C-alpha cells in the first residue's frame, strides 16, 4: 500500500473497539461504530475500498450490500464508483417479487433475499459487508447473485476474523479485508 493508504488503514484500525464477552462469554466483538462517528475514519474506509476496486476490478456494475452494515458502506462506495447499489435483506423485508436462499447459522438456519429485478444476468457485482466471520451471510449473498446469473467479482469487508476460516467457505470468490484479526 502507498504511504497514504497505510495511514488510512491505521486510522481505521484505531476506530475499531473490542468488547470481550459480547454477545456471549468467550466472544471478542469488534465494533465498527466509532468508524461511523468519525468522518475521517469513514472516508478512509471508502477510500481504501475504492482504491482496491479501481486497481483490481476494472468493471463493476453494482455494489451488493448485506443487511444491515453492508448498507452503511456499500452506497458510499457505489456513489464513488458511479454504479448502482443492491440490497440483500433478511426474508420478508423487501417488497415485490424476491429471490431467496436459505443458509446455515450457528444455531439454525436463516433466509436472505433480494428483489428479482435487482440484478440483470451478466452484471458484474461486488459484495460488501462489515465483517467476515464464518462466512454464512456472505455465502448466502453469493448464492443469491448466482441465482440471478450475476458475475461475482469478489467480496469486501472491513474486518476478517481469520481463525474462523470464512474466506474458505466463499471460494472460488476472492475476499478483500482491510483488517484481519
Q: At what angle do helices 70-81 and 39-56 cross, to 10 degrees?
A: 60
Element (H, E) at 53: helix 39-56
pLDDT reported for residue 1: 47
Burial class from Cβ neighbours inside 10 Å (0-12, 13-18, 19+) for residue 84 reads middle
- Active-site residue 106, yes or no? yes
Which sign does the torsion angle of CA 127, 129, 135, 138 carry?
negative
Angle CA 121–53–74, to nearest 5: 70
Domains along the chain with CATH numbers: 3-180 (3.40.50.2020)
- Candidates 44, 54, 52; CA nearest to 15 is 44
6, 50, 106, 160: which one is catalytic?
Answer: 106
Q: List pLDDT tens digits, range 126-163.
A: 999 999 999 999 999 999 999 999 999 999 999 999 99
User: Do residues 72 and 130 touch, judged by C-beta distance below 8 A?
Assistant: yes
pLDDT reported for residue 108: 83
pTM of the model: 0.95
Which residues, in sequence order, are CB contacts of 23 under 8 Å at separation 6+?
A: 29
User: Do residues 88 and 142 touch, judged by C-beta distance below 8 A?
Assistant: no
pLDDT reported for residue 2: 52
52, 69, 89, 160: which one is catalytic?
Answer: 69
pLDDT reported for residue 149: 98
Q: Which residue blocks in 57-152 are alpha helix, DSSP H?
A: 70-81, 136-147
pLDDT reported for residue 105: 78
Low-confidence ranges of the chain (pLDDT < 50): 1
Which residues, in sequence order, are CB contacts of 103 under 8 Å at separation 6+?
A: 109, 110, 111, 112, 136, 137, 139, 140, 143
- Active-site residue 30, yes or no? no
pLDDT reported for residue 58: 67
Amino acid at each position: 500500500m502507498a504511504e497514504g493508504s497505510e495511514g488510512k488503514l491505521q486510522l481505521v484500525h484505531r476506530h475499531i473497539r473490542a468488547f470481550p464477552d459480547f454477545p456471549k462469554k468467550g466472544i471478542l466483538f469488534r465494533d465498527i461504530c466509532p468508524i461511523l462517528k468519525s468522518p475521517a475514519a469513514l472516508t478512509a474506509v471508502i477510500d481504501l475500498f475504492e482504491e482496491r476496486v479501481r486497481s483490481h476490478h476494472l468493471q463493476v456494475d453494482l455494489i451488493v450490500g448485506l443487511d444491515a452494515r453492508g448498507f452503511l458502506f456499500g452506497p458510499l462506495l457505489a456513489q464513488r464508483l458511479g454504479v448502482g447499489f443492491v440490497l440483500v435483506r433478511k426474508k420478508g423485508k423487501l417488497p415485490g417479487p424476491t429471490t431467496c436462499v436459505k443458509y446455515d447459522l450457528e444455531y439454525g438456519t436463516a433466509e436472505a433475499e433480494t428483489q428479482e429485478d435487482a440484478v440483470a444476468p451478466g452484471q458484474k457485482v461486488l459484495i460488501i459487508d462489515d465483517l467476515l466471520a464464518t462466512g454464512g451471510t456472505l455465502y448466502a449473498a453469493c448464492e443469491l447473485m448466482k441465482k440471478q446469473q450475476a458475475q461475482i467479482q469478489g467480496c469486501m469487508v472491513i474486518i476478517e476474523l481469520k481463525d474462523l476460516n470464512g474466506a474458505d467457505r466463499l471460494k472460488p470468490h476472492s475476499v478483500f479485508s482491510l483488517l484481519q484479526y
